[in-house]
Structure 1
Amino acid sequence: MASEAATALGYAKQLLAILNKDRDRLARIDDYVQGEHDDPYMPLNSDDEYKLLARRAVSNWMPLLLSTPAQAMYVDSVRRPSVQLAVGEVLPEWKHWQRSRLDARQLAIHRGALKFGHSFTLTEKTVRGVRTKGLSAMKTAALFEDPANDDTPEVALTVLKFAKGDAKGVARMFDARYEWTVSFGSLGDDVSVRLTAKRRHGATECPVTRFAAAVDLEGRTVGVIEPMIDLQNRINQTVFDLLVAQTYASFKVRTVTGMAPPVKRDPETGDVVLDDEGNPIPLPINHNARRFLFAEDADVKFGSLDETPLSGFIESLDMSIRHLAAISQTPPHHLLGMIANLSAEALLAAETALLRKVEEFRNSFGESWERVMRLAVELEGNLDAAQDYDAEVMWRDMEMKSLAQSADGLGKLAESLQIPVRGLWNRVPNVTSQEVQEWERLREEDDAELQLAQSIRRATPDAETGISSPAPELVSA
């Protein structure tokens, strides 16, 4: 018992140290998504107007880079090829999905993984049954024996409350058998870490699952935001320079030489009013496009300074956005809005890179969801389903195709390749698993009514022979 507690305490200190190490990096990523960016370069003696332009120069592209792949990933159903379901029957994995309200919550889990590179879920028993909830990477860390290849953590810790003032922080830590309650001070202080309680969580392995956007062979995870921060800063700098040029130099400047400006005079004596240093105080000149300039002295010359062209700044901004689109594999028309006069083939070609990236994320997240399902049915006592590694999640088809096109294609598959019609139901655009089950029930009802009508017709005496056919037994489909 003492050895278990000492090992768990060592894990807790190690996991809290990981959270402390990653805190600044993850906070910076979160700031960029929220629009809190680094200031563009400006002179040290910048006034308030410059600082206002710097705040207005922030063009936050990060939410779009995050939402574009996230909105293409929705788990629609779960299937196990080894299980034949009766009409109206639902897999226990999908019951768990609905109980946990993951139709809505899955998006936050996917967004967290895409934003920080990884997120987590916790599957546990509650008073309302086994449920799964998402955990943020800013509050959760996990240790793996082989972080590049293992999908099961050795141990994981999630913070419920950080330390504030004299109040201690509280965290939950999970290993293969127990859940530990951890009390700690500041994240950088491992001296004050202690274990306050433990209990069995009921699973045979750690119930925390990692969702990783991309994992290399060193076990490092990377999302879609961090690699784009430098490009985002470049865009902000270009926009700031554009705003400065637009504010201070985008119009012609009128000049005059050889003429002294009017000065302030005493209204009673007519004498020139001097400042503290003995210099005349010039009067402000109210000049605009409606006023005409003239001078009595022949030596006075008028001129103008040309405005600074803004086209170079705009071209530089377009180039940076195109670089952002190429590196992030985001279709250019998603960022630039240039979609006019594009054929369906051109749109498909433009979105090919995005579709490949989404498919990569789906493969990674799909394996994580399948582990969540196995954990859920194990905690519910269904050991056979927990050992079934053939189960897989089905992703919703998010391609924008008309119903007529889809129906024509599915009809050709059924007719030309002799694919069973029932096997094509799930490929109907935007169909849900509940709708497919309803179609199954209606088909069963239609088949039963057809069998009954045939039996009645056969049992009716023939008008010519007067011989009635025996009614066959009704066989349920």
Structure 2
Amino acid sequence: MIVPPGSHTAFIGKPSKPQEWLMYLYGKVPGPLHPSQEYSRYYEGDQQKFAFSQARYKSAFRDVFDQWRDNFCGTIVDSTNERLHVDSFRIPGEDDGTDARQFWQRNGMDAYSTAVHLEALITGRSYVVVWADAKGEPTITPVPGDRIAVSYKAGSLWELEAAARFEMDAWGRQQVTLWTEEYVYEVAYGETDWENGTKQKNPLGLVPVVPFENRSRLGREPVSELVNCIPIQDAINKTVMDALTASEFAAFPQRYVTGLEIVEDANGNPVEPYDVGADKLLQAEDPSAKFGSFEAANLANYVSLVDLLVQHLATVSRVPSHYFLVNSSNTPSGEAIISAEAGLVAKVKERMLHFGEAWERVIRLCFAVKNDKRRNAFDTETRWKDPEYRTEAQHIDALLKLKQLDVPLEFLWFEAGFSAAQISDFREMRKEDAKAQAEIQQLGPQPQVQVPGQPQEQKPNPNKPPQGNSGNAARKINEAK
């Protein structure tokens, strides 16, 4: 049984009316107590729990550490998201991705695509809505996971049966949109009764919502990148908080004196006998008085424990230790960094597989808005920028070796890191270069064409020295004799 918000009547069974679909999907929208909200707080560093070893320290130091943060969750998510950059799309054998790139650039997705990835990595899920604007051009709208709910077809992992979006404006008015394959149902801003919506035919014949799910599992909900990192992050916070508390109480040498009479005030409270300071001298007339000091607390133990926990965090998240500056006494070499980042690169490539499939569905929906046959181009490929960081010399040297294997030049350009737009410009530049080269050749001497049947004109050889008359002169001298 579904209990909807407001005064709507609950129903049992599969939804059949727009109002029933809205009630069902509204119940699937993550609320303020959903775990995804906690993941967002950890990413932003707002999860401080004041995990002191004793309650009295919490009351004593709450104001001191109110703004204190030691958060690694943001680094874990950002280290993955900063390597997830969509470069272009292509349909093998028939399309170089020009139209898809126009859809992409027109909607500013170079920037907003990273926001879609970031939201999915943090909360486990984000969405993209594709629809037509007033001019009939496709619009791509990223939406966070707490504003949309979807329902999959029975037995399918990607085909949607319905989706609903619940938006709130600055004045607290809700606007609701429901999509099915047959119709689109909209409830205007400010209208609280879902029965008072407008229904029209869906021109696409598809639910124009694409989920981006992180770490999808069969039969289970997608999860955040931080799900296994939060307990270790809490342990780090607890350890650092203990270290800060110890630094307040025991990080300085404590002095003591024995055999000295305790002086009390009028109320019976002991009076501090000395004003201790760096320029003060302690003395006592009683020969039995003895002075001494306790050793200051060693905070290195806390540092070692935090380093150990951070190493565990690096292992769980597959983020290299040098991202956390652990064991950073020696700067790692380039080869060591590449080797250490192998796990992170492998994780990023796995995310590319799932997110790439989602972006391909987005592009096909854009073609569906344009009523283009490529709406069914299921061999569309998402092309990502290289997630591996390498030195420029190593990268180019590897590409030159591939060129010796007759690998096409445009593929080498893409592997070198050039964008699809730059590669398109390269094609035009090569055409201009070839045209200019042809014009230069026209300015030089042209080869003579031999006409069949005509004797070839004998031209003097400029490299052969001219013959002199020394032979004739010698003959004449011999005849005179």
TM-score, normalisation: structure 2:
0.83
TM superposition shift of 1:184 = 11
Which residue identity does 1:246 align to in structure 2? S
Contact 1:121/1:210, CA 8 A, preserved across alignment: yes
TM superposition shift of 1:362 = 0.3
Partner of 1:116: 123
Q: Deviations over 1:171-222 (max 9, x none)?
A: 222222333224899xxxxx97545223344222110100111111113101
Partner of 2:9: none
SS in 1 for 2:138: strand
Partner of 2:353: 363
Which contiguous aligned blocks of 4+ residues in structure 1 show a shift greater than 6 angstroms?
455-460
Q: 2:246, 2:435 → 1: CA distance?
A: 78
In the TM superposition, 1:119-130 aligns within 5 A as 119-127=126-134, 129-130=137-138
Q: 1:285, 1:7 → 2: CA distance?
A: 84
Task: Determine which of 347, 351, 365 is the counterpart of 2:337.
Answer: 347
Which residue identity does 1:109 align to in structure 2? V
Q: 1:155, 1:239 → 2: CA distance?
A: 48
TM superposition shift of 1:155 = 1.4
Greater gyration radius: 2
TM superposition shift of 1:70 = 0.3
TM superposition shift of 1:75 = 0.4
1:71 aligns with 2:69: no
Partner of 1:224: 225
- Change in CA separation of 1:462 and 1:419 when aligned onto 2, cut-off 3 Å: same
Partner of 1:144: 152
Contact 1:114/1:223, CA 8 A, preserved across alignment: yes
SS in 1 for 2:427: helix
Q: Which deviates more from structure 2 when the two are superposed, residues 4-13 or residues 214-223? A: 4-13
Number of residue equivalences: 438
Q: Which deviates more from structure 2 when the two are superposed, residues 26-35 or residues 171-180? A: 171-180
Task: Determine which of 277, 280, 286 is the counterpart of 1:297.
Answer: 286
1:177 aligns with 2:182: yes
Which residue identity does 2:423 align to in structure 1? V
1:80 aligns with 2:101: no
Q: 2:185, 2:54 → 1: CA distance?
A: 53
Partner of 1:436: 423
Which residue identity does 1:410 align to in structure 2? L
Contact 1:156/1:206, CA 8 A, preserved across alignment: yes
Partner of 1:154: 161
SS in 1 for 2:229: helix
In the TM superposition, 1:274-423 aligns within 5 A as 274-275=266-267, 279=268, 282=271, 285-336=274-325, 338=328, 340-382=330-372, 384-415=373-404, 417-423=405-411
- Change in CA separation of 1:159 and 1:285 when aligned onto 2, cut-off 3 Å: farther
Contact 1:117/1:222, CA 8 A, preserved across alignment: yes
SS in 2 for 1:307: coil
Partner of 2:7: none
Which residue identity does 1:154 align to in structure 2? E
Which residue identity does 1:413 align to in structure 2? L
- Change in CA separation of 1:458 and 1:150 when aligned onto 2, cut-off 3 Å: farther
Q: 1:340, 1:81 → 2: CA distance?
A: 47
SS in 2 for 1:252: coil
TM superposition shift of 1:100 = 0.8
Q: Deviations over 1:226-254 (max 9, x none)?
A: 32111111110000011011111112111
Q: 2:449, 2:74 → 1: CA distance?
A: 74
Q: 1:124, 1:4 → 2: CA distance?
A: 27
1:447 aligns with 2:430: no
Which residue identity does 1:60 align to in structure 2? N
Which residue identity does 1:393 align to in structure 2? T
SS in 2 for 1:397: coil
Q: 1:280, 1:457 → 2: CA distance?
A: 110
Q: 1:47, 1:285 → 2: CA distance?
A: 30
Q: 2:382, 2:424 → 1: CA distance?
A: 17
Which residue identity does 2:150 align to in structure 1? A
Q: 2:301, 2:385 → 1: CA distance?
A: 44
Which residue identity does 2:43 align to in structure 1? V
- Change in CA separation of 1:329 and 1:305 when aligned onto 2, cut-off 3 Å: same
Task: Determine which of 40, 44, 50 is the counterpart of 1:30.
Answer: 40
- Change in CA separation of 1:292 and 1:200 when aligned onto 2, cut-off 3 Å: farther
Any gaps of 5 or more consecutive residues in structure 2? 1-12, 459-481
Partner of 1:249: 250
Contact 1:53/1:243, CA 8 A, preserved across alignment: no
TM superposition shift of 1:169 = 3.1
- Change in CA separation of 1:420 and 1:45 when aligned onto 2, cut-off 3 Å: closer
Q: Which deviates more from structure 2 when the two are superposed, residues 133-142 or residues 350-359? A: 133-142
TM superposition shift of 1:21 = 5.4
Contact 1:143/1:155, CA 8 A, preserved across alignment: yes
TM superposition shift of 1:286 = 2.1
- Change in CA separation of 1:194 and 1:62 when aligned onto 2, cut-off 3 Å: farther
- Change in CA separation of 1:291 and 1:137 when aligned onto 2, cut-off 3 Å: same
In the TM superposition, 1:51-62 aligns within 5 A as 51-55=62-66, 58-62=69-73
Contact 1:163/1:169, CA 8 A, preserved across alignment: no
Any gaps of 5 or more consecutive residues in structure 1? 186-190, 265-273, 468-477
Give the aligned CA root-mean-square deviation in angstroms.
3.1
Contact 1:156/1:174, CA 8 A, preserved across alignment: yes
Partner of 2:27: 17
Q: 1:47, 1:200 → 2: CA distance?
A: 60
- Change in CA separation of 1:291 and 1:453 when aligned onto 2, cut-off 3 Å: closer
Which residue identity does 2:338 align to in structure 1? L
Q: 1:127, 1:285 → 2: CA distance?
A: 83
Q: Which deviates more from structure 2 when the two are superposed, residues 45-54 or residues 219-228? A: 45-54
Q: 1:294, 1:25 → 2: CA distance?
A: 62
Contact 1:213/1:361, CA 8 A, preserved across alignment: yes
Contact 1:81/1:391, CA 8 A, preserved across alignment: yes
TM superposition shift of 1:292 = 1.3
Q: 2:197, 2:274 → 1: CA distance?
A: 76
Which residue identity does 1:51 align to in structure 2? R
